[in-house]
Homo-oligomer: A and B are copies of this chain.
Amino acid sequence: MKVLANPSQIQLAEALARPLDGQAAERRSKVAAMLNAIRSEGEAAVRRFSRQFDGFAAETFEVAAAEHKAAEQQVAPALKAAIRQAHANIKTFHEAQKEEVRRIETMPGIVCWRKGVPIEKVGLYVPGGTAPLFSTVLMLGVPAQLAGCAEIVLCTPPRLDGSVHPAVLFAARQCGIHRVFKLGGVQAIGAMAYGVAGVPAVWKIFGPGNPWVTAAKQLVSLEGVAIDMPAGPSEVCVVADSTAHPAFVAADLLSQAEHGADSQVLLIATSGELLEKVEVALKAQLADLPRRDFAEKSLANSCAILVSDLHEAMRIANQYAPEHLILQVADAAQWADRVVNAGSVFLGTFTPESAGDYASGTNHTLPTEGWARSYSGVSLDGFLKKITFQHISPDGLRTLAPTIVEMARAEGLDAHARAVEIRLSAAEPSNQPLASNI
């Protein structure tokens, strides 16, 4: 890791900048062409891209009942138990996000409320690549199930033998997901957006992915399919003071760095001594790490910043707006109140990011690349629309009428005013009797 001591604003801006994606424009136009092909040719294009990019060209993309059943047998009991425990915790945390309908009487006779209504059809994308991400299945599937989405579709790229990792299928079953498709990349997003290759069209697509998947999600979001958020390489920022445990800090940095060479790792420390100890611990822990190559490459691009106090550290962390923020500081709870921009925050010595990645209950699908300034991570909310409702009594409308009429006329919208006036004049006792559905 490079070390920056008390950096200037310019040094800081450079250190916190995400790597420029020089291929973004070119990638986007390639993805647009692929999506066009999927829209116009349908299954043939999906099949072609699947063969080309996943080396997969089976008769049907949907996982068969027999495969689901076999997966049930193939997952070891210990892993099943772990997945069940994680599922239970994620469910507990997301269930608490349910909101009761609250009727608000804004004025006498004017009652307004809003209600969370599940999005009917949702698509979940679970990346393949270097690891079978059954944890992501839980993170997307549990809130989809809790929300009550009527149709839940999951796409994930097949392995080289054309199968889906059994733990992915097992986790899907835990979430009540019965329709899993062996589709990855742009072709998966296109299939869910347009409803081709046997995949039902969905109204919203969730899940992380590589830059191609993200580009495809962003492009279909211009055309009528909502998405959870854009997603980039994973990130962690650790803020540590002199009370932090160097080996724990190093372990947290490595658990981010092992994701891939493009993972972003940032350490902000108030103690130079700690920084030195973390460097030593990193070397020691790297020695026998299976994914050492990824981690070393990622660390080479990473940065440690030495600052004078925790106020400055928090200012920098908020400027960076990390996906994951770990506060290994004395009185972490107090400093938690200073967090303005972050996806998920881990407080104290015994709260590693990997707890939230898997099993504590919080969601691990989180905003990256500074999107934490404006986006939340995936939660129950994302699977619901909040629809507003209102009911107004004749007296309520009478009270509110002058306000509506005055504003409508001032905006030049006369028919808006008349929709009120015509009701009030009909409601006068002298006028005709009204229908009984007031």
> Chain A residues in contact with chain B, CB under 8 A?
28, 78-79, 81-83, 85-86, 89, 92-93, 96-97, 99, 102, 104, 106-107, 110, 112, 114, 117, 119-120, 130-135, 167, 203-204, 218, 221-222, 224-226, 230, 243-245, 247-248, 251-252, 254-255, 257-259, 285, 289-291, 295, 328-333, 336, 339-363, 367, 369-377, 379, 381, 384-394, 396-397, 400, 402-404, 406-408, 410-420, 422-423, 426-427, 434-438
Q: Is the CB of B254 within 8 A of A390?
A: no
Residues of B contacting A418 in the complex (Cβ-Cβ under 8 angstroms)? 251, 254-255, 285, 289
Question: Quick check: B385 and A376 within 8 Å, CB to CB?
Answer: yes
On whether the beta carbons of A413 and B255 are closer than 8 Å, the reply is: yes
Contact partners of A259 in chain B: CB under 8 A: 413
- Chain B residues with CB below 8 A from A243, complex form: 435-437
Is there an interface contact between B422 and A251, defined as CB atoms closer than 8 Å?
Answer: yes
Please tell me how many copies of the chain the complex holds.
Answer: 2
Least Cβ distance of A62 to chain B in Å?
A: 24
Rounded to whole Å, the gap between the CB of A5 and the closest CB of chain B is 23
Q: Could you say which of A114, A218, A255, A388 has the most chain B C-beta atoms within 10 Å of its C-beta?
A: A388
A85-B403, A133-B411, A375-B385 as given contacts; A419 in contact with B352, CB under 8 Å:
yes
Most buried by B among A258, A339, A387: A387
Residue of B nearest to A90 (CB): B106
Contact for A349 among B112, B245, B252, B435, CB less than 8 A: B435
A117 pairs with B374, CB closer than 8 A:
no
Q: Are B96 and A102 in contact (CB under 8 A)?
A: yes
Q: Residues of B contacting A416 with CB < 8 Å?
A: 255, 258, 353-354, 357-358
CB of A226 within 8 A of CB of B375, answer yes
Q: Taking each of A339, A371, A423, A426, which has the highest tally of chain B beta carbons within 10 Å of its own beta carbon? A: A423
Q: Can you list 17 A-B contacts (CB < 8 A)?
A: A81-B406, A99-B99, A119-B373, A131-B412, A131-B413, A132-B411, A134-B407, A259-B413, A344-B389, A345-B390, A351-B397, A356-B390, A357-B404, A358-B416, A359-B403, A361-B390, A381-B386
